[in-house]
Structure 1
């Protein structure tokens, strides 16, 4: 590659490690699939939204399209059964038996969502459902049973290993006996899992490797300990979708945003590189992958499906490179001006500077044919530095105030696989000292003046030391005072944070009463002015069972907002639990009276304009939703993507408006299965960021909710959190953030 200013770059043609044999037309037909199953050598069943294809990876052709049989459903998993039959799990339409020869469907279970399948023997099918636990189905008789221990759980993956059944669920990893008795349960609560939502797993002799929604967990069978790995440890993403072990004892990790290889023999050696990541730069077609869209074929090839098509790779042929990467100097400046050379600077190995120019800046580059921004550098100036600098992708090196002498600058860089060069690139830099710093001048001057100044210097030194000691003592005293006060203030705020967290409903309680919900809670400061409140109303009649959920935004943030949040939380406890007021609009009316009374608004010489905005819902198990809002809306997104946004009443809770009775409006909705409900404060949509540093606004926020409302509920939370941090980027968070979401799953 030739350039106008930087010369010629030579980039190897065969740098990509993954070669995809499929055409763009095939990729477009296979994009967005949700499951991959090997049917026969070279043939895969691939299922997705309204699609079921039999694909031949050897001929790069779709041999048969069964999609017309599934026009109104999404295929989530398939399982070959007998010679010409296929078990098909769907989202919404249960499980069917497909006769491949006659193109006929035989329903096994209808009107339920299933996501995983496993045959434990010739007639017994284990089926994992979405939020409905495990079903054991006798295909011959059509009868089925439930395992009650897993009621209301999502079962993402099932596999029989030896005599036991291994399960990946929404509440952790299980090993159970065929009769349903639990042998091992790993979860966040017992600190054995990085996240309770488990997608997949595999094992070897000593370990179980568990893919979760927030990191990779490696469980040691011998001592029952767990190690966790996240994107901060080098993974492409915290969402791990699948794990497989190849014949070279490497663990292949499918994440939401790329593939990673973990060399298991290096697991306990921190001095060796452990993870190697592969993305579109190495040849992958997909930059985002789907749950269940993965398979380890009998020939040990790996297949992954994503939003852009199908990736297939041979793990044994993908090896890391230890080839050193060339390093060059592209610029050398002395005191801000370019160094003049008689040849191209990249060939220059010796630089000489005058003592007046004892500061210099160097720009280096290393030719990384994949991604130059991922190249790391470290350097050491022999004669000045004791150790190499911390690794960084910054290509600029500068030193100032160097004494006269000859220095050797050593530079190391990483190649495209993150491996360091074994031998450094180096240059020599000689700084000529001023004449008064030469040995002969220093000796002569010392002999000449030493006698005359010795006495004065001793006296002056004594006075300076005495004065410096006095100043140091004063500075030390003031420093201690400031440090003590700072610790006291921070300690008080941290204690306030613990109090505030103690008042909020626990995650365990929220999960128990709202298992299909998430709460994204991101305070701007240590303590927050936003708070949430959840309470399940007692009821003897299961059909009347309901939960009240409140999202409240108090005036301000930080300590003042936190004080208001404690008032609000206490008022909700009094109104709902003690007074048994359960209708959302009446709760808001009572909160308004309570805030004005607590702050003596209109009754004191101290003027307080503080108040709250709130959104309160009452969710019934039968799908009825009651809601009222004070300056905050509610958003309902139907299963087909229709957005229903209802605004709250245009007056807050508390504040300077001293009208005694504020009549808030009660709204009632009938939710259908799959409808998503969201209530939130204004902190998310008001955040500044993006490419132009502008406010996100409600329109963009609603578009994001519409895009993710059909995804698993915990994945929605992760997407919202990631999008917010990416949008905010380097900008300061402007307000507390609170988003509560739930998906209705049962109208019974």
Structure 2
């Protein structure tokens, strides 16, 4: 690396392969390379003398005037016989002379000695080829759009320094800017678009000044006929006529099709109206039949006021999904034992209603006629009836029709509550009483208010994987003021709320706890309001049944 400082405090740095670098200040850096006219990018020596920067290279010497961007070149052919300048071997002397240490001795450069006069190079274009075929050319050429691959050969004559000639060129109409200086004496332009062009080429002198005359060729590539204005006008006219004709044709065809379609629609409308009238009549008959079935079902289940005659502090929240329901409630009193059931039959609507009638009929037979009051025994006998009536064998693939039941028996005289369940649970809430709840003789202390969920057996009243296994009897010591709730899964499974999710068992238990201490009428309204508020505008997905009983003294 070589360094030199000029009168303007600019630092000049000669590099090995990166050319000459000028650090004007912290923010401004200039670079001079072989592309700019230097003999080489390897700069072993640099010196500044009288505003000129002397650059020693392995091929000779360059002299640069920074303010004017003038680069002079000195080689063996122009009198610099040393050729290869050694590292940091440049010294300026008095009277402006500059000494160079080279591979062939010392050379002295005297800037006051005038150089041999430079003769501006004359440039000429020797040959033009189109699509690889030589053509004669003059001031103007006009060719077809298929002849768009151009090749130019050019040269310049220099008596003083023919080996230092460089060229630049441009193609006005495609490349308006001059190219970088090149040594080649030819250039090609493939795939030119139609249009007017002017090719220019110029040679430079040994100092890098573009002083010679510019040689040029003007030519035009004609457009194909489909890109000419007259063809565009004719094409637009033809297209317009075609489009108008097409739309006229389509208009007539659409009118014809519209008339045919209107006739078909009228005929089809008459047929649909007749079919709709028939369907409406059948639907009305079916609806009337289902409504009649509902009246029968409600008559069989007995009204809520009869439950309140048996247990005054009670309510029933009953909300069928359809006109008839697969959920049913049942109650009766035998020998001072008050029995209440909440059941959910397979399916809802008409199929569920048929199952409910079977359940109600056999509960009446088992409890009222046979006088069975043990809840577990009642469910076992009911299961036998259901399997027999539905002819269930337990074979694989057979429909598993049946019902989920919660059945309680309240012995008011002895304050004993017995419960058996098929999937369905019983909920016992104690409010304002410090006595602990005692399910099945095992003491369980609960806080005030307390809610105990007694879950039924995980098998239905019908065929299952656990056929013929006995149901479990749960015995609980109750006290006056306790509240008992029986429910099917319709309330818990209902979708709703802000995120349209299921109500879920946890939220159902919290709702029952909130009812503690309220009257039966208030509880009934609260349960109905909670369901309606949760469901909102969503569809009811299943039949819903909740029975609440306050155990009075």
TM-score using structure 1 length = 0.36
TM-score using structure 2 length = 0.48
Larger Rg: 2
Quick check: which one's helix share is greater?
2
